[in-house]
């Protein structure tokens, strides 16, 4: 079991092996420690305290080729307005490496029973399992917040994203042109899985 000192809230995401951790009092809905497929230690923290400007920079510099469903917006003023809405009306979880934002997941509106999910990963961190982990983080926290389900929209041509969402349990509920709406019910079995401490995960 870890201690406060070795869990580390350090934004530098120190190297640690948490595979035997069974949790401790005060742990968040899902462990914030994560190793991607390349063995990089990342820190995934709920909230955006002190990082709003950094989050705006993350999206302002986001490559056009990686945009999805017209998001993130194209201009910095539009990005600022969009991020403000995400912060004011939703819940966010930020992935950081060496103090830099490398991924972001959010769901909003936070006062709705079935908020909508978005997730974006920095190009150099894609295909390394971070998007899947951020989705699991959102699932764990959304359930902890009392939400019944999460919804999302995805381009029908985005096969990589569709494969990830389906593997997590999202199911298609509507399709208009090339825009697919998917839903994930946050039932007890799913919640117990995503909220389990590292030592109890399958």
pLDDT recorded at residue 28? 86
Percentage above 70 pLDDT, the chain = 88
pLDDT at 9 over 50: no
pLDDT given for residue 6 in this prediction: 35
What is the sign, positive or negative, of the torsion defined by CA atoms of 12, 107, 18, 24?
A: positive
Query: DSSP string spanning 76-130?
Result: HHHHHHHHHHHHHHSEEEEEEETTEEEEEEEEE-TTSSSPEEEEEE-GGGTTTTH
Total number of domains constituting the chain: 1
What does the pLDDT read at residue 5?
31
Q: Is the pLDDT of residue 128 over 60?
A: yes
Q: Given CA atoms 164, 99, 198, 190 in this order, what sign does their dihedral have?
A: negative
User: Does the structure show a pLDDT above 50 at 112?
Assistant: yes
The boundaries of the domain holding residue 122 are 4-200
CATH of the domain at 163: 3.40.630.30
pTM over 0.85: yes
Element (H, E) at 180: strand 179-185
Give mean pLDDT, residues 97-125: 96
- What's the rounded mean pLDDT across residues 20-41? 84
pLDDT at 2 over 50: no
Measure the CA–CA gap between 182 and 171, rounded to whole angstroms.
5
Q: What is the pLDDT of residues 129-185, one digit of tens each?
A: 999 999 999 999 999 999 999 999 999 999 999 999 999 999 999 999 889 999 999
């Amino acid at each position: 079991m870890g201690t406060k000192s070795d869990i580390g809230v350090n934004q530098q995401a120190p190297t640690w092996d948490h595979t035997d951790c069974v949790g401790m009092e005060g742990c968040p809905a899902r462990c914030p420690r994560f190793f991607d497929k390349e063995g990089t230690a990342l820190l995934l923290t709920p909230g955006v305290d002190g990082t709003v400007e950094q989050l705006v920079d993350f999206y302002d510099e986001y490559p056009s080729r990686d945009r999805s469903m017209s998001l993130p917006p194209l201009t910095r003023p539009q990005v600022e307005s969009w991020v403000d809405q995400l912060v004011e009306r939703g819940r966010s979880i930020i992935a950081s490496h060496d103090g830099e934002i490398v991924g972001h997941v959010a769901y909003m509106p936070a006062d709705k029973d079935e908020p909508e999910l978005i997730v974006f990963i920095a190009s150099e961190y894609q295909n390394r399992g971070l998007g899947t982990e951020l989705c699991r983080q959102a699932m764990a926290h959304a359930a902890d917040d009392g939400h019944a389900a999460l919804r999302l929209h995805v381009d029908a041509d985005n096969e990589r994203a569709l494969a990830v969402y389906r593997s997590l349990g999202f199911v298609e509920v509507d399709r208009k042109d090339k825009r697919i709406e998917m839903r994930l019910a946050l039932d007890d079995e799913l919640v117990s899985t995503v909220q389990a401490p590292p030592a109890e995960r399958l």
